[in-house]
Amino acid sequence: MTLSPLRYHYQHRAELEVVVQAGTGRASAFDDLIASTGAALETDRTLGGLCDWVEPEAPASVDLPVEGVAALKAAVIAIVLHYTTTGPLA
């Protein structure tokens, strides 16, 4: 919190779930999706002015077997949103 002028500074942790299912090329499709997500966040670190700064964390990927179909490759990407408001409920 800053007192003059009064501002509240927050860090919010959001999670983005990324899932790819493909018979072939699953790993490269997953890597491409992760890379494009990172590139989109780097292009606009303020989300169009909604945040002061957006900082993604490294994903932890897992392979999820699904009976009878191609396995899923999934990850959760934590994204820390830094922002300032004029009030605690603003």
Domain range for 56: 2-85
Question: 10 Å Cβ neighbour count for 30?
Answer: 22
Residue 60 domain-assigned? Answer: yes
pTM: 0.80
Residue 22 domain-assigned? Answer: yes
Query: How far apart, in whole angstroms, are the C-alpha atoms of residue 22 and residue 11?
Result: 35
Could you give the number of structural domains in the chain?
1
pLDDT beyond 80 at 23 = no
Residue 80 domain-assigned? Answer: yes
Task: Write the pLDDT tens digit of every residue in 50-81.
Answer: 999 999 999 988 888 888 887 889 999 999 99
Residue 90 domain-assigned? Answer: no
Query: In this structure, what CATH number is given to the domain that contains residue 45?
Result: 3.30.110
Residue 30: φ, ψ to 5°: -65, -45
Residue 24 domain-assigned? Answer: yes
